[in-house]
Structure 1
């Protein structure tokens, strides 16, 4: 009985070998594959009040407020080699009746400036905050300078301030990184 079962199974196997479709595969194409992930990350955010721009103890205006944020994502060697473009998006909501100049300074580990950009924020009121959006696209030679940064310093400068100034200035931002491996 085993002999009778073995013959039909062998016949089916042999006929599948002759009639099966086989597509030629070019394994050299594997070198042409590129992975292009897109990564979105929150960058920096803050909520400043008008009182941040006035020293009530000394009764003097503080015209520039500064904050530093580490951006350790860029210090990876593989990321530095693979980064093709970075899109920065900043959204300010200004409820302070003053305009602002905002400077972004990207610094290396040794505090050397590697990349800078700036924008102006339109004045608003506490009752009617004004939205200002700013986008910066970094690519080409600027990518090399950007990836040398390990932190970003944000400096917010107000033209004048006093103890009666009211309102808030908020920032939300994100970065979209375009990589190619």
Structure 2
């Protein structure tokens, strides 16, 4: 019996404590001052070209081309709110030949908007990692927004002859970091 009375009194005290609270008026107009700054990171391109893929029927091929489509800018929300983009490239060469990698940013008519290139030294037995970050802001960002494709063109420099049994590879990993401002 004593336990039941005690529980009732305790329950009433707890209920009374929860009945008292502070209340203030809410200002829903603050939403108009809201500014979001999301950051998105995504894979851009990847390839792993083996040394023997630069040889066709016993003949060295000095140029290899790949042109992936970049359709992210078809989305008007993304296009209108993008304020900066960082494109990161990492190239690891384990082939005993030097290369250049040309990146050609193309518009919907396959016209070149912007070009960037990287020199990739020949492999000499130690890690051969080339990294580069290309930052797009202001006018340069406008060129990126008009881009629909990026052509990756690998050119091999003269050096030791490659054959179908040559070892090593040329690996590219890249990513894009997009900075948006939504008001």
TM class by smaller structure: 0.7 to 0.9
Post-superposition Cα deviations, 1:40-65, rounded to whole Å, max 9, x if no partner, equal: 1100000111122222x2x4321111
User: Aligned residue for 1:114?
Assistant: 113
Name the counterpart of 1:102: 101
For residues 170 and 49 of structure 1, what CA distance do their matches in structure 2 show? 9
Distance 2:181 2:169 in 1: 40
- Structure 1: stretches of 5+ with no match in the other structure: 1-15
CA contact (8 A) 1:74 1:147 kept: yes
Where structure 2 has 5 or more consecutive residues not aligned to the other structure, the ranges are 1-18
Kept in 2: contact 1:95–1:167 (CA 8 A): yes
1:89 counterpart residue number: 88
Task: Specify the alignment match of 1:170 in structure 2.
Answer: 171
**How large is the RMSD of aligned CA atoms in angstroms?**
2.1
Q: Report what 1:154 is aligned to.
A: 152
1:45 alignment partner in structure 2 = 46
What's the TM-score, normalizing by structure 2?
A: 0.78
Instruction: Give the counterpart of 2:143 among 131, 142, 145.
Output: 145
Paired residues, what number? 161
Conserved? CA contact 1:102–1:121, under 8 Å: yes
